[in-house]
Structure 1
Amino acid sequence: MGSGRPTAATAKQHKTAAAKKLVLPCIIGLLGFALIADLLWAASSPSPASSTPFVLISHSPFPNHTHSAPATFKAKDAADKHVKTNQRLLSATFSDLPAPLLEWEKMAPAPVPRLDGAAIQIGHLLYVFAGYGTIDYVHSHVDIYNFTDNTWGGRFDMPKEMAHSHLGMVTDGRYVYVVTGQYGPQCRGPTARTFVLDTQTQQWSNMPPLPLPRYAPATQLWRGRLHVMGGSKENRHTPGLEHWSIAVKDGKALEKEWRTEVPIPRGGPHRACVVVDDRLYVIGGQEGDFMAKPGSPIFKCSRRNEVVYGDVYMLDDDMNWKVLPPMPKPDSHIEFAWKIVNNSIIIVGGTTEKHPETKKMTLVGEVFQFQLDTLKWSVVGKLPYRVKTTLVGFWNGWLYFTSGQRDRGPDDPAPRKVIGEMWRTKLHL
């Protein structure tokens, strides 16, 4: 048979086959596009389990960090005209612990922002010391907040030889004992110098230096002696286990040298150290910290591995350490972020383990409570944002916090801005 011209039927068959070949890929492509769009929409939509509402009351707008509530919450807000509810969105890879709502009120900010500063409350006054303004600038003065009229005032200078951050500090109700700490900005070395402040006269005096300098040691007055424990050693990274004490009274040392005491079970800086009902507690902390970059003329900070923990220890009558139930999550940078309220210890914010994906430092946005009669922990509220090394006070039922370093926003728990903001909430326990 020869190859002649195709018949009309044959041509029609070829056109139909070609059309089918063209339509099938189009259908597949459209289905694929629809599937991808659906996945992207699902990934961008917050699930109910990953979002936590909180109540925010502010005297001034809080820019860049407030979000509109989803439709499920808008109906509730419309029904309740007396409460303004914002929706706090959480990262899909990191979840804060569930907690009750707290109403936060924004107060007058501190005169300067502070990171790694210190604070002591005596009556209605909160004394706020030192700290970084920026990584290259440190403060060398004290600011005072008055809880009775909610104002700042009464600034005065610190001694020129006194450390500027990572201080050990405690008060007997009049005198403030200041022990060791980092001298200067970036990751400079520590000093062993110690000082006493008479808050009634605002006069400073010297005390015997610590046997070895330390960064952010746990510090407390207990049974007539000033106790200093743990912290980081001279290289700023290696945990110290040493425990020293010296007898003090009315702002004066009664001994010429520090006495060696039983070592603390686990070393490291940035812990809460509390004495209540004649018992001494050491809470949280970390092993390791930033170090000065080798050879850097400005002692530039260089990140090292850190292990954050939630361990709780108590020193008993026989000077033995007892292990108590750990915190709800590992927590560090809380040395001045605690108060005693209704036979319990309240701890505000801090830092926890690294973010599981970004490996960045992760800030804490919860308020924890440790009941001293039952030795049980609970989460009693959320902060307006996550924050570390914040400085805490308590007055007339109000819990206050100021300063520190806050997160990058509701979706990002990594640290960013050093703040001087002051917030308060009425605490109902």
Structure 2
Amino acid sequence: MARSTHKHHSSSTTKLVFLISCAGLLGAALIVDFLWASSSYSTAAAPYLSAASKWALQKSGIEVVPNVTLADITDKRKDVKDRAERTRERYLPATYADLPAPELPWEEMPPAPVPRLDGAAIQIKNLLYVFAGYGTLDYVHSHVDVYNFSTNTWGERFDMPKGMGHSHLGVATDGRYIYVVSGQYGPQCRGPTALTFVLDTETKTWRGMPPLPSPRYAPATQLWRGRLHVMGGSKENRHTPGLEHWSIAVEDGKALEQQWKTEIPIPRGGPHRACVVVNDRLLVIGGQEGDFMAKPGSPIFKCSRRLEVVYADAYMLDDEMKWKVLPPMPKPNSHIECSWVIVNNSIIIAGGTTEKHPVNKRMILVGEVFQFHLDSLTWSVIGKLPFRVKTTLTGFWEGWLYFTSGQRDRGADNPQPRKVIGDMWRTRLSL
């Protein structure tokens, strides 16, 4: 009887050990599965961690930002948003997007007569001609203000012609005549115009030119080898990037042809880029794909946010009339169409906008001053602005770098855009 009881007890113990082992194995499997999933998620999410974090850790040299397109990001947008909600603690603050840069001694000058956003500017000798722009989203300017660098005063003011765009203009000059191309007509997110005009800065008179084949927002525009070139920009819906490139022969403020000629398309379309002619080469720098659009059915064309991709790309058109890829900017940068000057065989670019905040997708402004060395084709960061600002308008006179207008940040610790300004500042550059 005792023998029988011993056998029964041994059998029960064996079953208990077996059940405990199974539970242990199941638990281990669940832990491995969890760790694998976490590792997979971390790997998958890595490409979408803010480039700002990488910039913050960068101590020297220039980092090339991956060539991401609007289509690449659109497909993964929802997945990234869901993941970001679960990993907010992984992201650094947006202010970390600022690159290390030396301080510059800025001096505040007389502000512009009106604040303006998305305006345009052209410098001719000691005069800076400042065109149009938003006063607010519901109000646009339709005049030109002139700043005199010799006297550091705002002086002349005159009206623009009816039908001319009020923002997102393409502008270029031959030293007397200013060519004004296309742009948005009206406030909020109204449609673009195809009309083009020429200003004679000596007589302050306007004349019309053949319209563009299609309207464009903020196309890259320059005079090169006797022809006015217009490239990229956004198409009629304000969001779709344009790749088209047109030119027309001009002389003394007049078009020598009745129609625009189709040229080699630009490699990457979009608005808000710097377009520079230097050393008989045509350069296009920075920009973005996508922009705000009019809200469907809105009677006032109220602006509605869409996905935008800011990039650092730079291209050059030379004797072969083929686009060459140049080293990219130190970080993606847009809203710089009139934010550049040429100083001592280099291009200086001030401010702009960069990649959106990785979690809340808010716009981040740029507060650095960049230099592109034309002899070595390299970039450097040469200083900081007194605040971050986009679509600022720059000039250079007798060793002084000036900037005015645009939209500035919310403060030193918040790089998001807030106030539209007319402020004018300058600093001495020794390059």
TM-score w.r.t. the length of structure 1 is 0.79
> Alignment partner of 2:106: what SS?
strand
Where 1:350 maps in the other structure, the secondary structure is: strand
- Per-residue Cα deviation, 1:397-424 (whole angstroms, up to 9, x for no partner): 0000000000000010000000000000
Are 1:93 and 1:357, in contact at CA under 8 Å, matched by a contact in 2? no
Separation (CA, whole Å) in 2 of partners of 1:221 and 1:410: 38
* Contact 1:91 1:412 (8 Å CA) reproduced: no
Letter matched to residue 265 of structure 1: P
Judged with a 3 Å threshold, the aligned counterparts in structure 2 of structure 1 residues 334 and 159 are, in CA distance, closer, same or farther, namely same
The aligned residue for residue 220 of structure 2 is: 218
AA partner of residue 411 (structure 2): G
CA distance in structure 2 between the aligned counterparts of 1:291 and 1:180, rounded to whole angstroms: 17
Corresponding position of 2:258: 256
Between 1:91-100 and 1:223-232, the stretch displaced more is 91-100
TM alignment of 1:171-320, pairs within 5 A: 171-320=173-322
Query: What does residue 132 of structure 1 align with?
Result: 134
TM-superposed deviation, 1:95? 3.6
The alpha carbon displacement at 1:389 in A equals 0.2
Instruction: Please tell me the residue identity of whatever aligns with 1:191.
Output: T
What number of residue pairs does the alignment pair up? 343
Taking only aligned residues, the RMSD between alpha carbons, in angstroms, comes to 1.4
CA distance in 2 between partners of 1:162 and 1:92 (Å): 37
Q: Is the 8 A contact 2:95 2:413 kept in 1?
A: no
1:354, 1:153 → 2: CA distance? 38
Amino acid at match of 1:152: W
Please name the residue that 2:102 is paired with.
100
Structure 2 CA distance for aligned equivalents of residues 346 and 325 of structure 1 = 15
Cα drift, residue 359 of structure 1: 1.6
Instruction: Map 1:255-404; keep pairs closer than 5 Å.
Output: 255-404=257-406
User: Cα gap change, 1:253/1:408 in structure 2, threshold over 3 Å: closer, same or farther?
Assistant: same
Question: Alignment partner of 1:359: what SS?
Answer: coil
> Does the aligned pair in 1 maintain the 2:94–2:415 contact within 8 Å?
no
Deviations 1:157-214 (A, max 9, x none): 0001100000000000000000000000000000000000000000000000000000
Aligned to 1:374, what secondary structure does the other structure show?
Answer: coil
Q: Provide the secondary structure at the position in 2 that maps to 1:101.
A: coil
Q: Cα 1:330–1:92, aligned 2, differ >3 Å: closer, same or farther?
A: closer
Measure how far apart 1:428 and its partner are. Answer: 1.4
Is the Cα–Cα contact under 8 Å of residues 95 and 415 in structure 2 kept in the other structure?
Answer: no
AA at the equivalent of 1:263: P
Structure 1 consecutive aligned stretches of length 4 or more whose deviation exceeds 4 Å: 90-93
Give the partner amino acid of 2:144.
V
Cα displacement (A) at 1:100: 1.3
The amino acid across from 2:105 in the alignment is E
How far apart, CA to CA, are the structure 1 residues paired with 2:323 and 2:226?
Answer: 19
C-alpha deviation, 1:356, in angstroms: 2.5
Question: Secondary structure of 2:243's partner?
Answer: coil
Contact 1:91–1:411 (CA<8 Å) still a contact in 2? Answer: no
Shift of 1:93: 5.6
* CA shift digits 1:120-141 (9 cap, x unpaired): 0000000000000000000000
Output the CA distance in 2 between the equivalents of 1:308 and 1:346. Answer: 19
1:412-427 pair list within 5 angstroms? 412-427=414-429
Matched residue of 2:96: which SS?
coil
Partner of residue 111, structure 1: 113
In the other structure, the counterpart of 1:83 is: none
Q: Deviations over 1:80-113 (max 9, x none)?
A: xxxxxxxxxx957624101112000000000000
Counterpart of 1:94 in 2: which secondary structure?
A: helix
1:95 and 1:349 map into 2 onto residues whose CA distance is 13
- In 1: Cα distance, 2:423 partner to 2:401 partner: 14
CA distance in 1, matches of 2:324, 2:209: 31
Percent same amino acid at aligned positions?
82
The aligned runs of 1:11-30 (5 Å cut-off) are none
Structure holding more helix per residue = 2
Code of the residue aligned with 1:254 in structure 2: it is L
Which amino acid counterpart does residue 375 of structure 1 have in structure 2? L
Q: 1:224 to 1:279 in 2, by over 3 A?
A: same
Q: Distance in 1 between matches of 2:247 and 2:128?
A: 26
Does the C-alpha gap of structure 1 residues 221 and 92 become closer, same or farther in structure 2, counting only changes over 3 Å?
closer
Contact kept, 8 Å, 2:233 with 2:241, in 1: the verdict is yes
Q: Is the 8 A contact 2:108 2:426 kept in 1?
A: yes
CA contact (8 A) 2:353 2:390 kept: yes
Q: How far is the alpha carbon of 1:355 from its aligned partner? A: 1.5
Unaligned runs of 5+ in 1: 1-48, 51-89
Map 1:16-165 to 2 at 5 A. 91=93, 94-165=96-167
